[in-house]
Structure 1
Amino acid sequence: MKRIALFPGSFDPFTKGHQDIVLRGLNLFDEVVIGIGNNANKQRYFPLNRMKYLIEDCFQYEKNVKVITYDDLTARIARELGARFLLRGLRNTTDFEYENGISQVNRYVYEEIETVFLITSPHFAPISSSIIRDLHRYGQNVDEFLPYSLTEA
């Protein structure tokens, strides 16, 4: 059976830390599906379709990485994809507390799903999408934190 992992998030924007989790996830899974979810509680900073295109471009040579967008419960999308794993990155204990609750609810929705946590590589730990958005909003170049260039995009 093919081991498919869904890596869900708003990815607003998708960072080098996220890219690192996907690449490391490919060592564990046959396929990683990056799922850009539409979070009703968040107003997007970067347009969804633009981010999908930029992420697809980052992984154009990785045949085992796919990128989708969705507007549903993550666990239901995982079931539709045949994904038995959710892939998540943890930067710190605050991330763990937040992700732990979500993983319990995902198991409630889809009993066969397992959440796999990867600890963020140390040099990516201080990077967060919200910090990058704030820097970008005020005119700071953020390309060093991203696996693509916003200046060229």
Structure 2
Amino acid sequence: MTAIAVYPGSFDPVTNGHLDIIERSAKVFDKVVVAVLHNRNKVPLFTVEERVQMLKESTSYIGNIEVDSFNGLLVDYVREKGAATIVRGLRAVSDFEYELQAASINRKLDADVETFFMMTNNQYSYLSSSIVKEVAKYQADVKELVPLPVQKALQEKYSHLTE
């Protein structure tokens, strides 16, 4: 039996912290589906299509990764992909409360779906997509924070601010 996991998120944009979780989960599971959520509660900088493309470019060196997007309930998507595990990254204790609630409701909706928590590497514990966008907006160097395709996309998005 193939162990398939889904790593969902907004990934607006994908950061090196996200990549850390993707790389490490790819060592644990036979296949990891990195799934970009259509989040109606957020106004994203990048379209879903742009985020999917950046993720594909940023993870192309990892053989057992699939990049996709989804709408609706995560547990429905997990079932659709034939997965039994949701991967969630934790940066700090503050993430745990939200993630515990999400894992609990997912478990209530489908008792066969497990949530696998991974602590991010300490060097990325401060890193979030929001921080990356704030730094990039002021044309500061983000090459230590995001993969190259994201760095280029951020420069393009925010280039109009210097004109």
Q: Structures share a fold, TM > 0.5? A: yes
Asked if 1:115 is matched to 2:112, the reply is no
Aligned length: 153
Which residue identity does 2:60 align to in structure 1? Q
Which residue of the partner structure matches residue 11 of structure 1?
11
Give the TM-score normalised by structure 2: 0.89
Provide, for residues 94-116 of structure 1, a one-character-per-residue CA deviation record: whole Å limited to 9, x for no partner: 10001000001111222200000
C-alpha contact (below 8 Å) 2:8/2:88 kept by paired residues:
yes
Which residue of the partner structure matches residue 48 of structure 1?
48
Structure 1 position 40, deviation (Å): 1.1
- How far apart, CA to CA, are the structure 1 residues paired with 2:88 and 2:152? 29
Give the TM-score normalised by structure 1: 0.94
C-alpha contact (below 8 Å) 1:143/1:149 kept by paired residues:
no
Which residue identity does 1:22 align to in structure 2? I
Which residue of the partner structure matches residue 36 of structure 2?
36
Which residue of the partner structure matches residue 68 of structure 1?
68
Which residue of the partner structure matches residue 97 of structure 2?
97
Which residue identity does 1:43 align to in structure 2? V
Q: Which has the higher helix share?
A: 2
User: Any stretches of 5+ residues in structure 1 without a counterpart?
Assistant: none
Which residue identity does 1:117 align to in structure 2? F
- How far apart, CA to CA, are the structure 1 residues paired with 2:107 and 2:51? 28
Which residue of the partner structure matches residue 128 of structure 1?
128
Distance 1:85 1:151, change over 3 A: closer
